[in-house]
Structure 1
Amino acid sequence: MRLILNPERQNVEPGRESAVALSVTNTSSVISGHRIRVLGLDPSWVTIDDETLSLFPDATSTTVIRITPPPGLPAGTRQFVVEVESLTPPAETDQIAGELVIPTRAAMRLSLDPPSSTAGKEARIGVVLKNEGTAPVDAQLRGHDDPAEVNFAFEPSTVSLEPGEQFLATSRLLAKRPWFGSPKIRSFSISASTLDQSVAAQGSWVQSPRFSRGVLALLGLVVAGTIFAAVIAGSLSQVVDRSNANSQLALQVAQAAQNKVAIGTASLTGYVRLAVSQAPVAGVTVNLYQPSDLTSPAASTATTTNGSYRFTSLAPGSYDLSFTGAGFAQLWYPNAVSSSGARPVSLTNGAHRRGVDISIGALPVSISGSVTGLPPAGAQLAIQLPSTNPLTSVAPTPSSTATAVPNGIIVAKTTLSAAGTFSFHNIPSPETYQLVLTKTGDASVVQTVTVASGQSESGIDLVLTPGNGVISGTVEGPSGPIGGATITATVGTSTSSTVSLTNSPNTGDFSVENLATPANVSLQVVAPGYAAQTLSVTLAPNQHATGIVVNLQPGVGSISGVVSTPPGTPAGGVSVSASFGSQTLTTVTASTGTVGSYRLANLSVPGTYTITFSRNDLLSQTVVVQLAGGSPNASGVNVSMIASTASMSGIVSESSGQGIADATVELVSGTSTYTVQTASSPVAGSYTLRGIEPGTYTLNFTRVGGLPVSTIITLAAGEDVTRNQQLSPAAGITAQVVETSSGQPIQGATVDLYFSSSYAPGAPPLTTITTNANGEFTFPNLEAPQSYLITVAYPPGSSPEASYNVTTQEGATVCATNGSTSTASCQIQLAVAG
């Protein structure tokens, strides 16, 4: 089939319908049916005019896909995939990608609730702000009246809104109240301004006099009856009070209506990665729902190029998250395919929740088939991500667990029975895989399988055949061909042996057949009275390697010793190879018995051998050993190896010596970065970095609210460096609370701490402390630079009597009243009733 999407990329406005045309052409020779679906977008956004098309051969039909992104969707690019599945055998699936671009648009709406209020000296008006645009805004609230007689105060004065978010601020109006006469009508306007726009709303304040005409009339009628006058005055007072109460009630109702999309100071971040390779996934739509309403998201965003996403300014509560990406099945956090299995994420005010990560596994499919040819019983079949060397990616023992190895990632594997059938389930799609079939003595089979999104593959046929590789040649010595030599070919765990011919004229000839290909073959040749020779031969698929000449040297000697490795690393498994001319013999150090010991035997004498010791995690070493006729055996050839990488450890502490937990230790070079957090136990402030590539690095020590420390350090292979570091104290805020008249310290005063940017009346504080016997308090370990608000109340439970905005400084404790680092006479004065 052939697919055309028009347009493939278009701008859309949230809340408005956009349309794309999908043309499907039947390129087969039979009438076919085609089913259409859209992946990567919330299904509630999408409608398809014709979800199923029936086409004659070479016919083309077009259907319209209508997409309506919800209001409040932030600006950015949303990717989607249109998948068309053929319903007529042979079934096939094709896909075409598209993009929706949500442009950046500023649109803010402001209204007053109530627009008109009746009050005395002070009035309170609700200011409702809603961001109807596609970009976050920071709006500054201001008030104005023409006579300039009204003072305006706002709580808060600056409002931050995400797209689609609504917030209710409070405006407090103050003006001189007339003593006598008619009520004074004050007209005013309240505006909200951003960098891109300004919106305003008009309001009126009916300010009643202290003594209205009705009250004066009542005073004139006092002589007519004091009780009657009191009743009338009380009634008028109730009218005024009821007006104020109605105003406050309207404000409370507006606040209650806002609770559904309330703003707060919490945030939530995480990463989206592929389930198999853990690679980051960009363009995945992340929807945030309140559990009471799973029909429409409260907020939405998309993952960036590194797979990360972020929600900010969230109110306290529980939230459900769903993840939808092009070509992937919808997933609910942490790993549910429907909302019923979702686990809510709980947030408190001021909390910064990190690590809300998921592994998106795409649509699960099945891959099945059978193995024919030679008997398949005992053969191992693995499905893995593509590897340049697939045969070395397969572990030698069967396992049903996905395994990561240096040359590839195995998704699943199994051992075949005599029936030869296989079936892998829950394999992520879309993806390209390698099916790797191995059996000792038989040729390995590697077949590539590509599965489309949600499309299972069946009927795969793998043919098991005898090993078809051949290595042939001649064994020769100084006096001519050598018959009776044993030639052993090793491929992985499989070995094949033969003996060189002894009859003339073909003396010394050999041929090792039925070798698995492609493969690296280790060929060892041994003959009595000669030093053994080991060759490495690489066979391409179906290759017959001929003309191999193996030269054996007379005389037999040996080299032996013990290899020691750094503490904590095994001494076994170190490769030891001896080279003499074209002769090379290889062994590995023992992992049992005398661990680290080795012995190279059947060496030609005399000879000068270059001995190389190597392993991936160790720095290779080379020694030269001479074997002579009088001393053919060299023992005690011992080496001490060092790690190929460096390590570093130490303790990060305060100047007092107390360890600092959760400080960051970072090594940075042009190509590599190593990072670790210091421990809280068993040794506070301790850290260890291992596996560091040798080189020159910038070493950084940082802590929240403290001054960073950086230095240059050069690390060599095998080096284990101890580096301790003292850091300045974290940022803090302090003051002394005293009584205004006497100057005596106040013990037990309540001090609350808030972020200035997110403070709202009634919101819970970040933390609360009380003053000590000297009236002192200190908030330690704060972020810096950061703007905080503190409020002070005494006695506990009363309303705050003092509040201060203060900005912290890195590595310093500042005075709460003025932000100065000089805290010698930093006092907050409170008037305490006698």
Structure 2
Amino acid sequence: MSAVHAVTFPHHVEVEPGQGGFISVAITNTADVIDAYSVQVFGLDPTWVEVSPERVSLFPGDTANIDVRVHLPLDYPASQRTITINVVSDDDPTAFNLSNVQLVVAPSAETSIALDPTMVTGSRVATFGIVITNTGNAVASARPFAIDPEDLAEFTFDPPTVIVPPGRDQVVRVTAKGGRAWFGQIRARTFTFGVESDTAGSAAGLTESVTVETIGTFLQRPRIGRWLISLLGLLTAAVVFAAVLSRTFDRVVEQASVTDELIDAALESGEAGGAVVPSNPATVTGTLTSATSTQGLAGMQAELFVSDDTTTPVASAVTDDAGSFSLSSLGEGRYKLKLSGAGLAALWYPAAPTPDDAQEIEVALGQELTLDPVAVGGLPVEVTGKIDADNPLDLAGVTITLVAAGETDPEADALVATVDVAPDGSFTLPDIPSPGSYQLLVEKPGFATERRDVTLGPGQSLDDLELALRPGNGIISGSISESNGSALGGVAISATDGTTTVETVSLTDGAEGTFRVRDLPTPGQYTVTISKPGYLTETRSVALTEGQEIGNLTARLVPATGSISGRSTVSGVPEQGLTVTLTGADLVRRTAVVSQGLAAGSYGFVGLPAPGTYTLTFTGPDVIPQVRVVDLDPFRGTTDIGGIDVSLSPESTTVQGIVNAVGGGPATQATVTLSDGATTRTFLTADDPAGRFQFSNVKPGAYTLTASQIGTDPVVVLVNVTATSATPNLNLQLGAQASLSGRVDGFDPAAQSVTLRLFDPAQFPNGVAVATVETDAGGNYTFTSLEAQKVFVVAVYASATAADPLDSVSIETEPSIDKPVPPFTVTLP
């Protein structure tokens, strides 16, 4: 028998969120020695529970009270749950007492609203949004409404009712229309918007209603605004004024005559060069570009003259950054255009040196005339310089070529000028258009081609260019292959010494992968760059002596892409819905894991830039995500990495076990509950296999597992569920069921038996008995498997058919205890 007896009061506690509830625990020391006791509360966060005093010390037979105060947070959801009060002994770990208390968390109706927008300007219809926020602890059913004090507007709500979970928002769209005036100013109309919300509690089906309101404004325009009335007034005034003027001018015309010369003079205002701008003027636009490039010339001047007077311009403009100009406010007539600017030779449109040779531009009223682009050659300048050679005899046959920038083919139309170098190495390129960008080429067979970029400003000559002539008899050759040794064609090879750059491509046919870079000036120090898309670029430093040829340059290009592959399963088994997300190297890719067939569980990513570091995230429904980091490093030979295998763990697991009765046998039809404080699940132990229970799909967390049977003290176990490890089989041992035992005296039990019946007090003596037993040969009897802490009536009868009891007694059962019934002494008829 337990050395402690505890009674909790009340068994049913209602708690308001944010407020406290009290439970009193009466503890009696039933041991023969002094002992100390403390109280534990299972099923609640320990920070929500306050026990006072924390510990009591009792003499044998003494009783003391410990108060338990429960304080729940404001956001705790409305619910009804069972908590367990455990009284434990300090001296005897086997001495404890468990009792259950029903904790009812009342619903808290806290609803607020906001209007977005609070003010709307419109004509007939205005749309508002009511943002409903549930700050309570229970689900709220909200019904929006609106009130127009003038009772003119009609309101439509979408949706008409919303369900708002605790801590969440919902938006209702409200459309107000109607009540629009015909005339007047914008009218401010004030509406009252509100929400009536019902919050249903979990206890007794209680429902609490809350109404909240706010104000919105509709600035409504009239059908006919003041501006339209004003316009009609102005039009009326204009008509009256026009009628008055008409009658007045009729009288003037009758008294005066207008000559043809006067009319002609008045019409001349729309002619070319007229001092008065016509009502529908013309516009002339155009573009100036450099003759040596397609770029526009900025800051140039465009002047427009009347054809028969080229001394005074009637319009002028300056070109913008794109070389465009615009001449506006022009009358009808014939014009000539002059283009000029700093460093440019003036010309007349389109390319005449004098106005007499210029093309006439005919302009009509209202026309927007766009001229053809004009290429302005600019003032001719000279480009001079000198070639330096180690041997003066090498200067013979050297050619200087000037081409437009970006063009290196002398046979192309971009050729500007060419000249042979003088015996002393000097050269002069006359009449070079400026401004312009060019490329100067120094060429001679057997020597490297020297290239120099030349930029000329408007009218700017370029003097004293110094160029070197170097023998171009250096050669670098070799072969390119892949990292696996196979020949690789189409590889770009570039050799540069900082001044001269020569490029080539490795062969794709014949001697695939081989290359030969020719005409390299020697001596020289060259940087050779070897590149191809999809491979890592390599650079080599090569020194060439006079006339040297290097023919053994080899390179193996490492692929600059890689792959990652592996398998993803759930506890080693392929499942549907698994995905792998790859991030890194500015990439985000996602692929599904194969769920069926021979490749079930596999995944792969190819064409990944390398080197690179990638993060793989493995996810799926109801599983715990996992992350792997993979490095692709071509220099270490880790570009294609496989075997990145991940076994995901289910996000939920199973809690299972067996409930045993007194004597070690399984307890069938025992009640097992699993609770995390918010949700409680119940299971009846099975008949086959006997005593077994199982809760599946249990999320990770801390749970209280309680097993009970009629007439027994509940057995409580704390279970910590983790997704990464399975919960072991639990073995719960119940105590004995409550029972009543007694003896009947006053007759010979060996010769006959008497009948005892067990009644609910409300059914005694004429109702249906809960149980019936007969005395044994010693006059003893027992009622088993009884409900604990319940009052019964035990009655003795002369026989199984007797209707009137010989004697009876009331007695209360105790959990897991065979409680003795006071003996009966009867006299049989």
**Which category describes the TM-score, using the shorter chain as reference length?**
0.3 to 0.5
Larger Rg: 2
TM-score of the two chains, using structure 2 as the length reference = 0.35
Q: With structure 1 as the length reference, what TM-score do the two structures score?
A: 0.34
